[in-house]
Amino acid sequence: MIAPLFAAVLGASDAVAVGADFTDGRVCSRVGWCWELPRPQGTPLSAFWGSGPRDVWAAGDSGTLIHFDGTTWSGRVDLVEVSLHALWGSGPRDVWAAGGAGTLLRFDGETWRRVPSGSDEDLRAVTGSSRQDVWAVGGRAALHFDGARWSSVPLPPNARLWSVWREGSDVFAQGGGLFRFDGRAFVEVQALDPGDPVPVAGPARTKFALRGGRLLKRAGEQWVGAGVATLERIERGWFPSSSLAWLVTMERGSLRYDGRDWKRYPLPEFATVIWERTPNDAWAATLFGVPMHFDGKRWTAPDQPCARFDGRMLAVADGEVWLGSHEQLCHRGAQGWEQVPTRFDTTPSAIAGTRSDDIWIATSTNLYHWNGEFLGDARQTPGRMPADNFWGLTRLWLDTRRSGWAVGERGLVLFWDSQRWTRVPSGTSAALRAAWSDGAGATWVVGAGGTALRWAGSSFESIRTPPMGKGGRHQVRHDLWIEIGPGAPGDLVAISGAAPDDIWAAGGPESAQQIICGTRAGPEPTPVDWGAALIHWDGKAWSAVPTGEVVYLHDVWARARDDVWAVGADVLMHFDGRAWSKQTLSRSPLERSGAVLLGGTKTELFILGDRTLRVLPLVPR
């Protein structure tokens, strides 16, 4: 049933990308979705390398490889199927990237090509002295490139390499000990006793070590405090030469060592990697992969038009996408992203709207209306809200300016009639999670325990839904399986219809206790095909739609009968009228829950994560 969606994600041929992909100012996946927020992208980065201020590469998780042309970053989030860990080049037309499963990529000035490494170890570091002398190491692999081919270099049995560098004519590698290349093999020059501070990698290894958040320096046989003037915990350090070092502290500080003194430079965000090309041109990346630049005086990060938006707040209204958080609302319209000057007393839980001047925002106990100018407080305005003190609003649906639904905990349903929100009895005490209406009479509310309520003109009637999933054990990874209780009622969290007789609801097994995780030591898994994260209404009854290994879907959007989208934590699914297909979404560390909400305009599909937003161009219908 599940077909591979979006064919050819992974390049089987040598050429995995062409140069033109790195100039369009966007960071996109092969299948077409692009990073919208954060800017320029949100996948963690591991390495930078550049030949000049207008030629900088960065590589990171899930095959991310991006390029800076002096103005903007462009590139791919999934150039290859594995994470990339290291970059080095001898010049703009000779750049190497190394990554998982022995992956080595080479850029010739126009195209990145796969180069066979002969290893399946995760390659963690790459360095060199010329086109004919490149080293790559990782784990048990130490590889050398002579200008024509890569060959393996013997290692002592205790080596588990994660760094390689040159010092004069010597080549050193570190990991499990310190090793020097003797012309034939790496030999151990310094054993590492357990409990010793780990000397830093790089030429400064004889001077510095990091331990317990402190930088130590060598004083004879002893390690003593290095005298770095900070009380903050030092998290990371880079020591590319004996006279240059960068440290990053827990409190967003950076310290630069110029061979004599340490100087402190505040960072806009905590940095996971720092790379310096010249003293006034250095790059770092945030935890979430946003590049930051150092100009010799200060670090700057790209402006984020919508900082700290919330994973529950996505609305698409009249072609504009809206995000929100406790602190702000922001939306992207014709003029780009714009912040709306407003704040909420409590954390908002949902946003919905029909136009940019008709946006509703729910908190647990209140509803606010943005009319393009100001935020109206329904609770504060006499007669605009039900008199009882409800709480637990979680989701909104607006058909038109004059009709909308809000649902929440304990069977809470409110209806907007253009003047006031009134309480509508739902007949259930189940937590209600989503509402959908076609604005012409068909209105559904879904929620926990497989609850599906249909509006029958004056009250809701409960419609039976099928169990979601057949139950059984399923192997997720080679060392992990999960078990679903048989016949569990679905926890419905989303609903969307293409027509009154073509409605989709998404969710998954009702509660966490019904998913039992185990390791390989557990019972043997039973065959797959137990998942049904979707149910479908055909006008007469709800039926479960098997989704294979996809256990849980957070949102569904029925754009048309033959164009339905659904999103789970790490997966984007599409229904073309005949079958569902899926694609993995690489998860950013920003996204605790992964992708959670969908919203669509006529030309774009927005995928909201906890603090990320991806956008996928759609074929206009």
Partner 1 sequence: MRDHGEVPACFLPPPGIDGWTTNELILMEVTALVGSQPIDVRYAVQYLPPPEGEPGSRRLLVTVLSGPRDAGTAWSNLPCRPDAPGWSCTTLDGSPATLGSKLECRQHAGAPETTAPPAAAVPRDPRLGTWVSENPAQPWHSLFALWGAAKNDAWAVGGAGTLLRYDGARWQPYPGPVQADLLAISGSGFRDVWAVGQHGAAMHWDGAAWRAAPVAQGANLDQLFAPAPEDAWAGSSSTGELFRWQAGAWKAIDPGLRVWRLFGTSERDVWVFDPSGALARFDGNRWTHSQPPLGVPVVALARVSPRHVVAAGSGGTIARFDGELWWHERNGTGGSIEQLWAPRRDVVWAFNSRQTWLRWFNGRWATSPIPEGAAGVRAAWGLAADDGWVIDSRGAMFQYDGKQWSQRSAGSPPSPVVELVTATAIIGGAPWVVGSGVMRLTPAGWASQPVPPGLQVEELAGVPQTLVQSIAGSSENDVWAVTHARHTWGERADATVWHFDGTEWRADASAPKTARVLWQRGRDDVWAAGDLEAVWHRTNSRWIQVDPGAKRDFPSDLRAYAITSDGAGGVWVAGDGPFKRCTTRGCTSYPSPIEGSEIIPFLAISTVSATQAYAVVGDPHLENAPLHGQEREDVEPSFAEWDGVRWKALDLGPVPMMLGAVAAGRGELWALGAGNKILHLKEGKLERMVLDDVETLSLITRTPDGVIRLVGDGGRVMRRAP
Nearer to partner 1, 328 or 601 (CB): 328
Tell me how far CA of residue 292 lies from CA of 89, 232, 306, 345, in angstroms. Answer: 21, 21, 17, 33
Q: Total residues contacting partner 1 (rule CB under 8 A)?
A: 19
Q: Return the residue of 227, 341, 527, 620 that touches partner 1, per CB under 8 A.
A: 341
By the rule CB under 8 A, 372 interacts with partner 1: yes
Q: Return the residue of 343, 520, 592, 602 that touches partner 1, per CB under 8 A.
A: 343
Nearer to partner 1, 262 or 415 (CB): 415
Q: CB 122 → partner 1: shortest distance, Å? A: 47
Q: Return the residue of 136, 282, 361, 378 that touches partner 1, per CB under 8 A.
A: 378
By the rule CB under 8 A, 331 interacts with partner 1: no
By the rule CB under 8 A, 381 interacts with partner 1: yes
Q: Which residues contact 221 (CB under 8 A, 6 or more apart)?
A: none
Nearer to partner 1, 379 or 470 (CB): 379
User: How many Å apart are CA 549 and CA 552, to the nearest integer?
Assistant: 9
User: How many Å apart are CA 129 and CA 164, to the nearest integer?
Assistant: 12
Q: CB 371 → partner 1: shortest distance, Å? A: 4
Q: Return the residue of 389, 419, 458, 519 that touches partner 1, per CB under 8 A.
A: 419
Q: CB 328 → partner 1: shortest distance, Å? A: 8
Q: Which residues contact 482 (CB under 8 A, 6 or more apart)?
A: 473, 474, 476, 515, 516, 517, 518, 551
Q: CB 39 → partner 1: shortest distance, Å? A: 22
User: How many Å apart are CA 304 and CA 511, to the nearest integer?
Assistant: 36
Q: Return the residue of 157, 194, 382, 527 that touches partner 1, per CB under 8 A.
A: 382
Q: CB 343 → partner 1: shortest distance, Å? A: 4
- In 3D space, the residue among 315, 448, 464, 327 whose CA is nearest the CA of residue 392 turns out to be 448
User: How many Å apart are CA 257 and CA 200, to the nearest integer?
Assistant: 14
By the rule CB under 8 A, 482 interacts with partner 1: no
User: How many Å apart are CA 116 and CA 97, to the nearest integer?
Assistant: 12
By the rule CB under 8 A, 376 interacts with partner 1: yes
How do 150-152 and 141-145 pair as beta strands? antiparallel
User: How many Å apart are CA 568 and CA 551, to the nearest integer?
Assistant: 8
Q: CB 381 → partner 1: shortest distance, Å? A: 4
By the rule CB under 8 A, 375 interacts with partner 1: yes
Nearer to partner 1, 338 or 549 (CB): 338
Q: CB 342 → partner 1: shortest distance, Å? A: 4
Beta-carbon neighbour count of residue 576 at 10 Å? 12
Nearer to partner 1, 2 or 375 (CB): 375
Nearer to partner 1, 243 or 400 (CB): 400
Determine phi and psi for 309, rounding to 5 degrees.
Answer: -80, 165
Q: DSSP characters for 156-205?
A: -TT--B-EEEEETTEEEEESSSEEEE-SSSEEEEE---TTSPEEPSSGGG
- Judge whether 316 and 322 are in contact, CB under 8 Å: yes
User: How many Å apart are CA 153 and CA 187, to the nearest integer?
Assistant: 11
By the rule CB under 8 A, 342 interacts with partner 1: yes
Nearer to partner 1, 62 or 356 (CB): 356
- Region binding partner 1 by CB under 8 A among candidate stretches 290-298, 337-345, 525-533, 612-620: 337-345
Q: CB 357 → partner 1: shortest distance, Å? A: 7
40 upstream amide cis, omega within 30 of 0: yes
Phi-psi region of 110 (alpha: psi -120 to 50; beta: other; left: phi over 0): alpha
- Region binding partner 1 by CB under 8 A among candidate stretches 133-141, 196-204, 255-263, 367-375: 367-375
User: How many Å apart are CA 436 and CA 423, to the nearest integer?
Assistant: 17
- Region binding partner 1 by CB under 8 A among candidate stretches 171-179, 365-373, 429-437, 514-522: 365-373
- Region binding partner 1 by CB under 8 A among candidate stretches 141-149, 303-311, 376-384, 590-598: 376-384
Q: CB 550 → partner 1: shortest distance, Å? A: 40
Rounded to 5 degrees, what angle do the CA atoms 463, 467, 470 make?
160
Catalogue the E-assigned strands of 364-471: 367-370, 375-377, 393-400, 403-408, 413-416, 421-423, 432-437, 443-447, 452-455, 460-462
Nearer to partner 1, 142 or 385 (CB): 385
- 66 forms beta bridges with 58, 75
Q: CB 380 → partner 1: shortest distance, Å? A: 5
Nearer to partner 1, 398 or 430 (CB): 398
By the rule CB under 8 A, 369 interacts with partner 1: yes
Binding residues (CB under 8 A) for partner 1: these are: 341-343, 357, 369, 371-378, 380-382, 384, 418-419
